Structures are given as structure tokens and as C-alpha cells.
Amino acid sequence: MFRKKKCIGEVTTRYFRKMLNMEKQKHPINKYLQSNNSNLTSPNITKSGTNTIVEFNHSLKLPVPEKDSNSLSASLLDDILYTNVFNDDIGDNNCDIHDDIDSDDNSSKIIESFNIEDELRSWVLKFKVSHNSANCILGIIKSAGINVPKDIRTLMKTPTTHVISNIDQGSYIHLGLENMILPILKKYDSLIYTPNKVLKIGINLDGLPLSRSSKSQLWTILIEFTNCNLLSGYVLPIGIFHGNSKPKSIHEFLNPFLSDILTLLNCGLNVNGNIYQFEVGHVLCDSPAKSFLLNVKSFNAYFGCTACTQEGSYINNRMEFLEIESLLRTDKSFRSKTQEEYHKGSSPLELLPIDMINDVCIDYMHNVCLGVTKRLIEFWVRGKKDVRLIDENKVPSEFIRLPRGLDDIEFYKATELRMFVIHSGLIVLKGNLSKQMYSHFKLFVCALRILITPDICQTFNNLAQSLLNEFVTQYSSLYGAHFVTYNVHSLLHLPMYVKVHGCLDNFSCFKYENYLQFIKKSIKSAKYPLQEVTNRIIEKQNYFITNDIVLDPIVIVKEIINNTSSPYFCLADRLYEKIFIKELKVTININNKRDKYIMLKNNDIVVVNNIVKPQNELGFKLIVQKCLNSSSLFTEPIESSIIGFLTVNPIILSKIFPL
């Protein structure tokens, strides 16, 4: 296995001095500079790591070992999710290597391939260092006699000019579809395996306010690859608009992008002699952006549902959708504008060869997490007495992000709400919510667990549909008919989109929202936000083009010294306290109860005692014990083991065996 080269911000003082000495040998320096080398010091380094909880979910299952296999081989991980420079937030915290057992020989090998300019570029991008700070560091390094550029813009190859269009009382930069896709395909061309070289593209359009003290905002057009695991970690910006309001004309805003994508869909793209064809996989937006993109009435209008033709009722200053079954919209009815009350005009998406209903999806991040789940918690904490929690004081200590209490519910992020509704909610609320409310919430959780689990989302799709129908039916009687708003009503249509696109995580906005945060953090000055964001994007692309692919399916986070032997490993084997499996996005930590329990594909739950790298073998070996006493958490409305909910006695364990 290749040892990953350490980032300049993570090395020890001794190691940093070795790198400086190697650079000095490459470049002639005068005696004055040599005499002042002793004044150099490295920054203080603080090591940290982020743990990922292994939930008992079918989507995070490890394979069951065969009878003649005793190692967790890297061959099990064929389609690897690689660390990439376009998205720092995906697995970045889990992939840092802190190995304190490096020998001087290993350090010398790394120093030989060390390039200080590459390391500085990586440091600037990883920690989003401002240009002023980077220029200061360059000055310090240059004073030590090392030949580096004087200005960070030279090092990062920052563009000096931009092509900016003035549209709709704002400014627009078009980065270009081919310009953003081609570098990635060229780098991964030999590793991409898709049927007939067809790549499906997901499209996202969203607004991003830049501050609370002004109306300044960005509107972005982002894409991703939806049918290739190797490329699924990348989110690519294609066009960015800046102004004090959203673009007035959706047609003018999307015109450059539509021109690009129609060319791509019709002609494909030649990469190293291979012709890649493209299709549109899905279009994802939140509800306001979706109405803007489709050029239809808002979600809170009488005919606001984008999936069915139901007419809403205006009750207590809210638009409610009380019917369970309504006539569904179709691609044909949308394009022919059968329901005139729904349309405001033609949509630019009608130019694309897509299904205007099935391919323009409902996003569960906004609909389920920030919509329905957040509203339910608000009912239980601040609603009427008959729906409140029985004992509020027991709940906050159970939430995933402590010490965040229920009083902060209006500040909860979508990931916190997702954790609550998918994983911890049923445990937290048991005994704290009335039986009627708890049973109602259980319908919601069971349906979502089915739709979010890849292995069962199609098999049990009809069951999820019936559970959601019952949930929405009871919702009006428990909380009031005037609270059956667009978000609650849209739950009825989620199973339909899962049938077309697979589990809910295949078409969610979490990835796009993470990228928007990168864009927002890239802006250091409010004077030229559009140019600044574009510079950071192009700098990342330039760094990506010049760096090699790192094939590292299992990342070592922390190694421990092996002073013992056992029937399953010897003194020559290497032991690890913590590893991160990229494809499964799972951290295994033998010293943390949250991260030492894993579920196998046969639903067995095991506790990991040792992580072993055999001396003369590839891959890793897990030394585990099976939990012998496990049972379903509940049996109604479905058997909880189907959706990955089990109760386990961690004391009753089997004999130790290798996995």
C-alpha cells in the first residue's frame, strides 16, 4: 500500500526542517541566507480526527466473509470514492493520516518526491487561506532561500481576466460545461466503467444569500454525475449569477447553459479517443427555485403541487392539500399546459429530452428534513399541550449534536434533522410522546427508512406508499387540517420518484448544498464576489489537473504499536486503532463504542476487537465477536429488522473469529 504524502500543514517540526534542507540543496543561496536558517520555525500543529457513527442501516453493510477468506481485501471495493479537490467536505476530515511511527527511511523517501509549490497549493486550497496570508508565508519561505513565487496568484495560476455578461440587473459568468467536465474525464478515462460510455448528469439550480446585511446573492447552476461511483463525489459549477435579487428571466439566465448541454447531449464528448454520450438524470431544486425553473405557480398557490393536479384549500392563512389521491401530472400534460391555472409560461427545461414530471424530482432534504421533521419537533416542543412531549428534559441529551437543546430547533441544520428522523427519533421519543403521536411518527420513520435503503426501496415501495398515505391521513386529525401544507402533501409522491431514480440519497440536495458552502466561504470581500468565486474554482481545477490520482480504498487514520501476538496475528503484523473505508463511508474505531459495532450483509452484528494488516498479505483483517442476543425493536407497522432497527445485548458475545 502506498504511503500518502503528508500535507505541509500536518508535518512535525523535525520533518519540516528536513524538507527545507532538501529544497536548499536544489537551489543556490548566499551565505547570509544560510546563516539565518536557524530563525525558521514551523507552525504549531494540532492533530484532530472526526468519527463517523456506523448506523445499523442496510446501506452501510459489510460483506460476510467466505469460508476460505480471512481478510478484508481491497478487491471488495471495486468502485472507489476518491478524495478530490472539487469537494473538500466529502470525507476530508476522515481521510487525514496521522501516523506517528514513520521511520527516517520513510521520511527520506517522501522528501525526495517533495515539491514545496504543490504542498503550498494544497495547503491554500484545503484551509481556504486568504491571499494576504499566503503572500506572507511565501515571503517567509523566500527569505529562507527557497525559490518560490513572490505572489500567491502566480503559484495558484489565478486568472487575470473574466468574461462577464450583464443580464437582468446583475452579472453572470459562464464557466462552460465542456471546460468543467473534460479535465475530470481525461484524468479518470481509463477507470470509468459505464454501459456504452453513457454518463447521466444531475442538474441543480439554487440561490445563495451572501450576507444578512444586504440583498447581495448568487444563483448557481451546478451538475453532478449520477451513474458513476467513481465520479459521484464531484459537484461542478457551470454558471453563476450575482445580483441583488434572483434573475428576472429564467430563459435569459439558463440560455448559455442550455446551449452547452444540448450540444453535449447531441454530439457527446471525445476524451482520449473515446466518445462519451450524456443524458440528464434528474433536476433538483428546493420548492421556490423549482417553481422559478419550471415557470409555474408557487408551491403555496391553489395549484402549487408539481406532481398532481389537486386544487388546494385556503385555511387559516395557509394553503392546504387534503386529498390523498389526485390525478397525477404527466410529461405530455405539462408540455401541452393542460391545467392553465398551474402555468405562468413556457419553461426552458422543455427544450431538453427529459420527463418534465418524473425527472424534476422532489428533494427530501428540503421536503422531509427541513420541512416535515422540523415542523413535527416544533409541535412537540412549542405546540398545544395535547401534542407536546411528556417530559422535555429527557430529550436534548439524546440528540446527536450536544449540547444543542430543543430550544434551538429553529437553528437546526438538515443533517441534524436527518439524523433525528432516520436514526435516533424513535429511541429518543419512546416514553416521551403519547402513544398515539408515537405510533403516528413511527409510520413516517418506517416509510423513510424503506425509501432511503437501496436494498429494499424498490421491493417494499408499495408498503412505503401505504404508510405515507396513512401518515398524511392522520396528520390532519392530530395536528389540524390547516397544517397539511405542500411539504406534508409532497410525501405522498416520494415513492413515485424512488421507483424512477432509486433510493432517496440518489437525488438529494445535500451534496449541492455542501458545495454552496464552499462557494460562500471562498468570498473574502464583498466588492467583487463573482470574480472571487470564479478565481477559487479555477484555482482548484488547475491544482486538480496537475496532481495524480490517489487510489486508497482504505485509509489508515491511526496506527498502534504491536507488542503482543495472538492466534490471529503475529508480532510482525501491523495493528490499527482506526481506519476509514471510503466506499462505505464508514469509520471503524476499536476504542470507541460508537464505531466498533458493524452489521454484516446477513444482518449479524459484530464488535471489532482488532484491525490487522498482515505482513505478507494484501488488505486488512478484522478480529471480531458476534453479538448473540439481538432482536427486533418493534413489529408494527412492520418488522423493525427489515429497516435495520435491532436491539443488541453487547455482553453476550461469541468466540473471537477473523473477518
- Determine contact, residues 192/185, Cβ cutoff 8 Å: yes
* pLDDT given at position 114: 66
Say whether the peptide bond before residue 43 is cis (omega within 30 degrees of 0): no
Q: Is residue 278 part of a domain?
A: yes
SS (H, E, C) 638-657: CCHHHHCCEEECCCCECCCE
Name beta bridge partners: 620.
72
Show the domain range for 385.
Answer: 364-501
Q: Sorting pLDDT into bands at 50, 70 and 90, what band is 423?
A: confident
Helix axes 177-188, 250-267, angle to 10 degrees: 40
Q: pLDDT tens, 555-580?
A: 777 888 888 878 888 888 889 998 88
User: Judging by beta carbons within 10 Å of its beta carbon (0-12, 13-18, 19+), is residue 635 exposed, middle or buried?
Assistant: exposed
Q: How far apart are CA 75 and CA 63, in angstroms?
A: 12
Q: How far apart are CA 134 and CA 156, in angstroms?
A: 11
Say whether the peptide bond before residue 403 is cis (omega within 30 degrees of 0): yes
One domain for residues 289 and 212: yes
One domain for residues 376 and 495: yes
* pLDDT given at position 60: 39
- Determine contact, residues 324/469, Cβ cutoff 8 Å: yes
One domain for residues 393 and 495: yes
* pLDDT given at position 391: 52
Q: pLDDT tens, 505-560?
A: 999 999 999 999 999 999 988 889 999 999 999 999 999 888 877 666 777 778 88
198-209 and 274-284 strand pairing: parallel
Q: Is residue 561 part of a domain?
A: yes
318-320 and 554-560 strand pairing: unpaired
Q: Give the residue-averaged pLDDT of 202-231.
A: 94
Domain count, the chain: 4
Q: pLDDT tens, 329-370?
A: 999 999 999 999 999 999 999 999 999 999 999 999 999 999
One domain for residues 205 and 291: yes
Q: What mean pLDDT, rounded, does the chain reach?
A: 82
One domain for residues 139 and 203: no
Q: Give the residue-averaged pLDDT of 367-384.
A: 91
Q: How far apart are CA 58 and CA 452, in angstroms?
A: 9
One domain for residues 178 and 195: yes
Q: Give the residue-averaged pLDDT of 304-319.
A: 94
Using the predicted structure, report yes or no on whether residue 300 has a pLDDT greater than 60: yes
One domain for residues 376 and 444: yes
Using the predicted structure, report yes or no on whether residue 18 has a pLDDT greater than 80: no
- Determine contact, residues 493/310, Cβ cutoff 8 Å: no
Residue type, 507: F
Which residue has better confidence, 547 or 242? 242
Q: pLDDT tens, 599-608?
A: 888 888 999 9
Q: Give the residue-averaged pLDDT of 478-498.
A: 96
One domain for residues 540 and 634: no
One domain for residues 146 and 206: no
**φ, ψ for residue 357, nearest 5 deg:** -105, -55
